[in-house]
């Protein structure tokens, strides 16, 4: 069995918060909560705690330009991105501006033929149709394209949430929460669009579009803290009663029903909205979210469902191809994984990179080679900013952008060997050695008898969980194994009973860990989450295990 380091999340010392159990107060402190007031806001997210949208640099200018365009009956072109965030952001802005009476057009570029962000051909086409161009979820790195747009007479508003370059594009307005001192710098693209909606229509307009912003916020894996926590918590509630035919059809196709969780958005809804852009036309997602026609919505949802199944099959094939390229002996001394394929689907290379990154605990780069140019997608591990590493290779790249843990790039095919060599060197020098050791974080080590229906109710108040607010994990150390066996049709899962301090008997399930039974361990360290288990009318609390270290 692979030995994983179990690391306790940083828990600041301090007294329990007013009215809260000690162990629950510790969980809140590990999530950055420091005062009773902050604890109250965290546990009771409220729309009244949303920030003034005009704190976003450029918001006043954006609102004035949009209102002027509406008054002067100019055509406004909304230009988005082809992922779930971009599709939701475009939908929020289109719906808002439509209600304001704007003359509208929109464009979502093709991932396959155009790539991410603005491109010169698109800008020229837009200049023939519109007078104002506003981007959502892209544009902050498109300096040359913005210069062209201005030369062609367009008013340009760039709204984005990605890391801005040192020199901003010369747009009329550049709005990015990472610029200035906005209190929630980690909004997603749809979050920025929602703030524009709030500035134009107040809370009444914002509330109508919280459902779309919640989907995007979870799907784009931005921290569920501050405003994002409010958006997702309130958005999940509104999703349960949404009147949008498109969302109702999507829920039906995905086989989910209220009450919804952040996991539903991350693993059921987000992938289906993303599937359109990965394999075909992302505009399908906008059509789905905005259509008032139930029959049309059901047809589009069926198309997205089929696209998602196809995506899953292609992803498995690509990942198998990528794995066949790896030399495991050489990989033992590597600091980055590089794989490539001729004409790999560029919509799926990020998923393949993610699979490799997760499996080998190394930064991974997957490249789709098309003639003399390759498009790449990168995924990284905690402690290694792939964006910063790519910055040190900028002279070898045609373009790049992204975040600490995920990035995209375009490179000339002839420069791939140099890029691979440079990136290996840069990461080996800059990254700390401990970053390459597999690790799993946990919150607390508490006796299993802590878990009662009342304490489980406390845990539920931490939802929605996700990036920046991980679902809490707990440690059982040196738990004595009482029984252990493989379960499931193929024996791939593990069912076990262990003895915890107290003593208390703990029933546990570990999905995908059936091979541990073959080792017949005497003691185990388990990272787990307590969950309710309903069996034959009897409800108990068991441990759902996420990571295991054994002492045979």
pLDDT tens, residue by residue, 54-94: 999 999 999 999 999 999 999 999 999 999 999 999 999 99
For position 401, what pLDDT does the model report?
81
Per-residue model confidence (pLDDT) at position 276 = 87
pTM over 0.95, yes/no: no
Mean pLDDT of 425-444: 90
Q: Where are the beta strands (DSSP E) in 313-451?
A: 337-342, 364-370, 373-379, 397-402, 406-412, 439-442
Average pLDDT, integer, range 477-484: 94
Q: What is the pLDDT, as a whole number, of residue 551? A: 59
Asked if the model's pLDDT at residue 259 lies above 50, the reply is yes
For the chain, give the mean pLDDT: 93
**Per-residue pLDDT for 2 more than 70?**
no
d(CA 409, CA 426) in angstroms, rounded, equals 17
Q: What is the mean pLDDT of residues 126-142?
A: 97
Q: Which of 227, 224, 308 is nearest to 271 (CA)?
A: 308
Domains and CATH numbers, the chain: 5-12+440-551 (2.40.50.460), 53-240 (3.90.1640.30), 325-435 (3.10.310.30)
According to the model, what pLDDT value does residue 552 have?
A: 46
Is residue 243 scored above 50 in pLDDT? yes
Give dist(CA 275, CA 347) in Å, integer. Answer: 8
Does residue 483 register a pLDDT over 50? yes
Please determine, for residue 369, whether its predicted confidence score (pLDDT) is greater than 90: yes
Rounded to whole angstroms, the Cα distance separating 128 from 117 reads 19
Quick one: which H or E segment has residue 461? none
Judged against a pLDDT cut of 50, whether residue 1 lies above it is answered with no
The pLDDT of 96-121, averaged and rounded, is: 93
Sequence-distant (≥ 6) Cβ neighbours of residue 44 within 8 angstroms: none
Distance, CA of 311 to chain centre: 18
Model pLDDT, residue 114: 85
Q: What local confidence, expressed as pLDDT, does residue 343 receive?
A: 85
> How far apart are the C-alpha atoms of 15 and 457, rounded to whole Å?
21
Mean pLDDT of 542-549: 94
Could you report the per-residue pLDDT of 376-396, keeping only the tens digit for each?
999 999 889 998 999 999 999
Q: Which of 46-55, 210-219, 405-414 has the lowest mean pLDDT?
A: 405-414
Which pLDDT score is estimated for 24? 95
- Tokens linked to 73: 């009956």
Q: Could you read off the pLDDT of 143-170 as tens digits, one per residue?
A: 999 999 999 999 999 999 998 988 999 9
Q: Tens digits of per-residue pLDDT, 213-226?
A: 999 999 998 999 99
Tokens 């086989």, located at residue: 255
Write down the pLDDT at residue 329: 84
User: Cβ–Cβ contacts within 10 Å for residue 216, how many?
Assistant: 32
Instruction: Pick the closest to residue 339 from 321, 372, 366, 363 (CA basis).
Output: 366
Are residues 474 and 530 in contact, defined by beta-carbon separation less than 8 angstroms?
A: yes
Concatenating the DSSP letter of every residue in 289-312 gives: HH---HHHHHHHHHHHHHHHHHHH
pLDDT > 90 in the chain, percent = 82
């Amino acid at each position: 069995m692979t030995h994983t380091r179990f690391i306790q999340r940083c828990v600041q010392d301090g007294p329990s918060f007013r009215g809260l159990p000690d162990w629950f107060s510790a969980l809140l402190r590990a999530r950055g909560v420091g005062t009773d007031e902050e604890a109250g806001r965290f546990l009771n997210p409220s729309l009244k705690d949303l920030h003034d949208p005009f704190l976003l640099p450029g918001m006043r200018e954006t609102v004035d330009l949009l209102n002027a365009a509406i008054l002067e009956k100019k055509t406004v072109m909304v230009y988005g991105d082809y992922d779930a965030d971009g599709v939701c952001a475009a939908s929020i802005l289109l719906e808002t501006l439509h209600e304001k009476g704007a003359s509208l057009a929109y464009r979502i570029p093709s991932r396959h033929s155009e790539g991410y962000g603005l491109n010169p051909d698109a800008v020229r086409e837009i200049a023939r149709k519109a007078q104002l161009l506003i981007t959502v979820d892209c544009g902050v790195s498109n300096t040359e394209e913005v210069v062209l747009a201005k030369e062609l007479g367009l008013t340009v508003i760039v709204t984005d949430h990605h890391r801005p370059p040192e020199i901003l594009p010369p747009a009329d307005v550049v709005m990015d929460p990472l610029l200035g001192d906005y209190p929630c710098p980690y909004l997603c693209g749809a979050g920025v669009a929602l703030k524009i909606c709030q500035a134009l229509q107040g809370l009444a307009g914002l509330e109508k579009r919280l459902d779309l912003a919640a989907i995007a916020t979870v799907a784009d894996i931005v921290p569920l803290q501050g405003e994002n926590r409010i958006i997702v918590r309130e958005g999940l509630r509104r999703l349960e009663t949404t009147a949008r035919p498109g969302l109702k059809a999507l829920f039906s196709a995905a086989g989910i029903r209220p009450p919804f969780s952040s996991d539903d958005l991350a693993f059921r809804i987000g992938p289906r909205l993303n599937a359109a852009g990965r394999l075909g036309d992302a505009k399908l997602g906008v059509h789905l979210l905005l259509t008032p026609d139930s029959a049309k919505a059901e047809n589009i949802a069926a198309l997205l469902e089929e696209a998602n199944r196809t995506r899953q099959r292609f992803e498995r094939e690509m990942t198998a191809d990528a794995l066949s390229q790896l030399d495991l002996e050489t990989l033992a001394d590597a600091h980055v994984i590089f794989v490539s394929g001729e004409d790999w689907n560029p919509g799926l290379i990020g998923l393949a990179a993610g699979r490799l990154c997760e499996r080998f605990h190394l930064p991974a780069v997957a490249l789709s080679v098309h003639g003399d140019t390759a498009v790449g997608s990168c995924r990284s591990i905690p402690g290694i900013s792939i964006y910063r590493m790519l910055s040190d290779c900028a002279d070898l790249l045609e373009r790049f952008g992204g975040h600490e843990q995920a990035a995209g790039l375009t490179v000339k095919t002839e420069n791939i060997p140099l890029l691979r060599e440079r990136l290996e060197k840069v990461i080996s020098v800059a990254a700390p050695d401990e970053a390459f050791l597999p690790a799993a974080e946990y919150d607390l080590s508490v006796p299993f008898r802590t878990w009662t229906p009342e304490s489980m109710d406390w845990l539920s108040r931490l939802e929605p969980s996700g990036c920046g607010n991980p679902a809490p994990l707990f440690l059982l150390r040196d738990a004595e194994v009482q029984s252990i066996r493989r379960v499931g049709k193929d024996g791939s899962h593990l069912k076990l009973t262990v003895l915890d301090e107290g003593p208390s008997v703990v029933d546990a399930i570990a999905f995908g860990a059936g091979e541990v039974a073959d080792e017949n361990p005497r003691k185990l360290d388990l990272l787990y989450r307590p969950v309710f288990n309903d069996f034959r009318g009897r409800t108990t609390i068991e441990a759902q295990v996420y990571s295991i270290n054994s002492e045979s």
